[in-house]
Structure 1
Amino acid sequence: MEPDLFTAAAEERQEKDPTGSPLAVRMRPRTLDEVVGQQHLLKPGSPLRRLVGEGAGGPAGPSSVILWGPPGTGKTTLAYVVSKATNKRFVELSAITAGVKEVRAVIDGARRATGGFGKETVLFLDEIHRFSKAQQDSLLPAVENRWVTLIAATTENPYFSVISPLLSRSLLLTLEPLTDDDLRGLLKRALSDERGLKDAVTLPEDTEDHLLRIAGGDARRALTALEAAAGAALDKGEPEISLTTLEETVDRAAVKYDRDGDQHYDVASALIKSIRGSDVDAALHYLARMIEAGEDPRFIARRLMISASEDIGLADPNALPIAVAAAQAVAMIGFPEAALTLSHATIALALAPKSNAATTAIGAAMEDVRKGLAGPVPPHLRDGHYKGAAKLGHAQGYVYPHDLPEGIAEQQYAPDALKDREYYSPTRHGAEARYADAVEWTRQHLGRKRS
């Protein structure tokens, strides 16, 4: 696990003669200036520039960096560039497979390498949010004593997933999703660069557009698909990568779908309306179109969460937890596996009984508030936990429902102007039928007049 002289020599040989390495490896940035995207982190004088020794005073700041951003935004790349720019050895661990034992082995090896070979080490720890508190604690001595330069990557909010002592000793850098323009620049460089395809083929606009959809904002995925398609085109003797060749190579059809235009909103709308209409097959079709077009899975998950409350509500109280769980899973795993999670949630929501009673209820209540129908809170409901409240009549005469056999007291809760207003009109669909019975019973026991 720990790097040695043979590992360093192998890396040096690969850099001098990258033949045979994947395109994504050959095009790996060697300097910060070659990094795609993340311009907010790469400005002159930025903390990241100072970390690698650029600017006055040389390297500055903490010896630990936390990179926070979605998958495919270049966290591993930045860690590698830092190691090369500072002439340090690069060791990569994943929190999914590594534990305290592996971390300590790397740290011990780094200390020996520093003493024996004068070579410091960058430890890149991917998905640090998967480490427990105790596992993260094991990193602190190495960070505090600068035995390694720790660069940790996470897709989770580090303020919730990284322990405070480690976070306080780290430079936190937030990475943004790569844009299509970022990836276009990367593809252009890969096509012409001596380390890349050396102008062996060209990339027409329609093929490039589909390639960007396939990539879904992931640079490595874009380069992998480009390399495969370029190889297929050259085997055919074709001077350019046609859309057909790309489709054949990646085994996908070019979906007619514009992520920034009308198609984007039309397909998303069709997905939600198909779920609302309980047509599970149509819903799955539109979901598939969004996935194949490279739609952000988090966008799809957000729409499903909205649908769970807007169109299903209490007719199936499990719909919202399913949608929320799907959104959390999607954020953690990303594509391609996230497609399974989104399918799971879409099927559950499409087949659930439907009710928009929660939607119309809050809409009607908010409309009354906008019209000025509010009024003061009834005195017996006001706060009585302060001196002088009783003299004002606050909290006087309030009946505590738990003191009554049926757990409900006949007293007024709404302001006078709204005391007989009824907003919630439950359906008899699915589980909401019992809420319909409950609301009828409670309104009777509250002494409400029927409207």
Structure 2
Amino acid sequence: MEKERLLSMGFSEELAAQALSATGGASPTRAVEWILSHKPIPSDDSPSPSPPPFQPKLHRFFNSKPDTNPSSTPIQEDIVPLSKRSKPTFAHDTITTTTTITATPHQPLYDRMRPRTLDDVVGQDHLLAPNSLLRSALHRHRLPSLLLWGPPGTGKTSIAKAILNSFPNPSSFSSTYRFVSLSAVTCGVKDVRDAVDEARRSKTKNKRTVLFVDEVHRFNKAQQDSFLPIIEDGSVVFIGATTENPSFHIITPLLSRCTTLVLHALDPNNLAQLLRRAADDSRIGLIASIGMRPVQVEDDVIHFISANCDGDARVALNALEISAITAAARAALQLGSAGAVHLGLEDAKEALQCKHLAYDKEGDEHYNLISALHKSMRGNDANAAVYWLARMLEGGEQPLYIARRLVRFASEDVGLADPSALNQAVACYQACHFLGMPECDVVLAQCVAYLAMAPKSIAVYRAIGAARKAVKESVGQNEGVPLHLRNAPTKLMKEIGYGKGYIYTPDDPTSVQSFLPSSLEGHKFLAWPTSANR
């Protein structure tokens, strides 16, 4: 039907087929727009096709009465040329509020579904409540410099960009601020210097710069230092986003000039809300990923994806999009280009492959999990200890790293209460070295369970700590070894007094002599009962 209407307008059969294929075949209006804004693709048998004839009044070919059936018109049509449509861009220039969003070719679903304002953001209620710091700052038009810290896919970039459209009076904001976005992954020293220089020039025109730096932890100290003067003099409002602990990756002067906002991983309910929003959006949602064909998403799909993405919205939306593409490919083989695409649970499982786990072998989560494992064993909870071990192994942690930590634990926390624990830990390390993953997982689990259930003593750990403290804090030079404890292999050394007065304990077990320097005489480092008091 749509092809016949295009042919009646005077377009060639080949051009009509190209246009319908490119726009999904749902609307002749979109097909006409495509023809007017794209060059036709030449075929093999017609290397030089003539351009389509000019159509001065294309609307006369369409029904004047709008179609109100939502199933037949899933997309609200407008006849604004694509070149003049508003697009949600964030360029190095003044921000203007846009109202129309169009999906561009190959734009990922998660990028199309970014919230336009803070009211559209899902989750992070502790940061976006009505009386929160961020809302209050926007209401007073006094945006502070911010550092957004949180796991991947929790909305750091989305919140930073949504701030610009969330001021009570966006028009006054656009006349006062300009937005510049940098990524520490791709930009270098020159890009930073250019942004700084432009911010200073804008300040002379009474316009401040909102400078958003994604992955700011990747900048070195010198690059981070370059932001300090322009933040200090008010040339820029700095907004940085990082997945790494700012205490270790952001310089202290920059931290002191920013307010750190901590974002949390999204819970399954938040993810389900985002997925359903993407599935139901008839303009830029899931329908745009499969050629504007209607799509039906089962609730089981939403629940499965939201429960297996570890709080990462980007992973969830990617999985949903891949699921839809898989389902659309199957539907094309079975039904052709007609009919709705049905997205089922098997499509979601195929797209996700395995449960997504948030783990970074060199990041914060690495240290969080090994700390949880260590503390669970110290607290005699073998159950929890085996769980945290499994989390680390499933996240891809090296088994030898875990085994080394178990060796340390055997002496630090078990110690003299069960000296054989150290043998167990060393044997575990050797077994992991021989076997490797996945076979060594049970070896690690056995050792973890043994150490968790073993009696505990930190007497040795405290003893070495106290002794090292005594060595470091001694006044002046550390006292020399008493003469009677020194070895005397030569005649001269014996004449000087080395070894004089030493009592060979095996010959006289009841003898009493001092083994510490005179200044530490009677000092106790190891709090452990002697053999006589056991």
**Structure-2-length-normalised TM-score:** 0.50
Q: Pairwise mapping of residues 34-183 of structure 1 onto structure 2 (< 5 A)? A: 34-51=120-137, 53-54=138-139, 58-60=140-142, 62=144, 64-85=145-166, 86-87=173-174, 88-112=177-201, 120-183=208-271
Conserved 8 A contact 1:311-1:355? no
| CA shift for structure 1 position 189 | 1.0
User: Using the alignment, how far apart are the partners of 1:274 and 1:69 within structure 2?
Assistant: 21
| CA shift for structure 1 position 160 | 4.1
User: Using the alignment, how far apart are the partners of 1:132 and 1:205 within structure 2?
Assistant: 46
User: Using the alignment, how far apart are the partners of 1:212 and 1:304 within structure 2?
Assistant: 33
User: Using the alignment, how far apart are the partners of 1:345 and 1:110 within structure 2?
Assistant: 54
1:227 matches 2:227? no
User: Using the alignment, how far apart are the partners of 1:357 and 1:348 within structure 2?
Assistant: 14
CA RMSD of aligned residues (A): 5.3
User: Using the alignment, how far apart are the partners of 1:165 and 1:188 within structure 2?
Assistant: 42
Cα displacement string for residues 2-24 of structure 1 (whole angstroms, at most 9, x for unaligned residues) = xx998769998995423433211
User: Using the alignment, how far apart are the partners of 2:448 and 2:112 within structure 1?
Assistant: 55
| Matched residue, 1:363 | 456
Q: Tell which deviates more after alignment, 156-165 or 139-148.
A: 156-165
1:67–1:318 distance in 2 versus 1, CA, 3 Å:
farther
**Helix, strand or coil: the match of 2:192?**
helix
| CA shift for structure 1 position 419 | 2.2
User: Using the alignment, how far apart are the partners of 1:254 and 1:356 within structure 2?
Assistant: 26
1:302–1:352 distance in 2 versus 1, CA, 3 Å:
closer
Q: Pairwise mapping of residues 293-308 of structure 1 onto structure 2 (< 5 A)? A: none
1:22–1:419 distance in 2 versus 1, CA, 3 Å:
closer
Conserved 8 A contact 1:271-1:287? no
| Equivalent AA in structure 1 for residue 275 of structure 2 | L
User: Using the alignment, how far apart are the partners of 1:163 and 1:103 within structure 2?
Assistant: 17
| CA shift for structure 1 position 352 | 11
| CA shift for structure 1 position 110 | 3.6
Conserved 8 A contact 1:210-1:254? no
1:39–1:405 distance in 2 versus 1, CA, 3 Å:
farther
| CA shift for structure 1 position 144 | 1.7
**Structure-1-length-normalised TM-score:** 0.58
User: Using the alignment, how far apart are the partners of 1:169 and 1:162 within structure 2?
Assistant: 11
Aligned length in residues: 338
**Helix, strand or coil: the match of 2:296?**
coil
Conserved 8 A contact 1:413-1:419? no
| Matched residue, 1:333 | none
Q: Of residues 275, 278, 303 in structure 2, which corresponds to 1:190?
A: 278
**Helix, strand or coil: the match of 2:342?**
coil
Q: Pairwise mapping of residues 206-217 of structure 1 onto structure 2 (< 5 A)? A: 206-217=300-311
| Matched residue, 2:464 | none
Conserved 8 A contact 2:410-2:422? no
1:5–1:271 distance in 2 versus 1, CA, 3 Å:
closer
Identity of aligned residues (%): 36
Conserved 8 A contact 2:109-2:321? yes
| Matched residue, 1:18 | 103
Cα displacement string for residues 233-267 of structure 1 (whole angstroms, at most 9, x for unaligned residues) = 233336431122223334x1689xxxxxxxxxxxx
Conserved 8 A contact 1:29-1:35? yes
Cα displacement string for residues 53-96 of structure 1 (whole angstroms, at most 9, x for unaligned residues) = 32xxx21253x111122222111111111234354544333334
| CA shift for structure 1 position 197 | 3.0
Where does the alignment leave 5 or more consecutive residues of structure 1 unmatched? 256-267, 276-282, 292-296, 321-342, 367-380, 385-399, 421-447
1:30 matches 2:116? yes
Conserved 8 A contact 2:300-2:345? yes
User: Using the alignment, how far apart are the partners of 1:302 and 1:35 within structure 2?
Assistant: 39
1:35–1:143 distance in 2 versus 1, CA, 3 Å:
same
1:76–1:179 distance in 2 versus 1, CA, 3 Å:
same
**Helix, strand or coil: the match of 2:123?**
coil
1:206–1:76 distance in 2 versus 1, CA, 3 Å:
same
| Equivalent AA in structure 1 for residue 192 of structure 2 | V
Q: Pairwise mapping of residues 388-427 of structure 1 onto structure 2 (< 5 A)? A: 403=482, 404-405=485-486, 409=516, 413=524, 419-420=529-530
| CA shift for structure 1 position 142 | 1.6
| Equivalent AA in structure 1 for residue 181 of structure 2 | E
1:349–1:107 distance in 2 versus 1, CA, 3 Å:
farther
| Matched residue, 2:40 | none
| CA shift for structure 1 position 43 | 0.9
User: Using the alignment, how far apart are the partners of 1:308 and 1:205 within structure 2?
Assistant: 48
Conserved 8 A contact 1:274-1:350? no
User: Using the alignment, how far apart are the partners of 1:319 and 1:96 within structure 2?
Assistant: 40
Conserved 8 A contact 1:304-1:345? no
Larger radius of gyration: 2
**Helix, strand or coil: the match of 2:241?**
strand
Q: Tell which deviates more after alignment, 77-86 or 218-227.
A: 77-86
Q: Tell which deviates more after alignment, 239-248 or 35-44.
A: 239-248
| CA shift for structure 1 position 183 | 0.6
1:19–1:247 distance in 2 versus 1, CA, 3 Å:
same
1:119–1:305 distance in 2 versus 1, CA, 3 Å:
farther
1:94–1:208 distance in 2 versus 1, CA, 3 Å:
same
| CA shift for structure 1 position 360 | 6.8
**Helix, strand or coil: the match of 1:419?**
coil
Q: Tell which deviates more after alignment, 204-213 or 175-184.
A: 204-213
User: Using the alignment, how far apart are the partners of 1:172 and 1:193 within structure 2?
Assistant: 33
**Helix, strand or coil: the match of 1:215?**
coil
**Helix, strand or coil: the match of 1:363?**
coil
1:66–1:9 distance in 2 versus 1, CA, 3 Å:
closer
Conserved 8 A contact 1:309-1:358? no
User: Using the alignment, how far apart are the partners of 1:346 and 1:15 within structure 2?
Assistant: 55
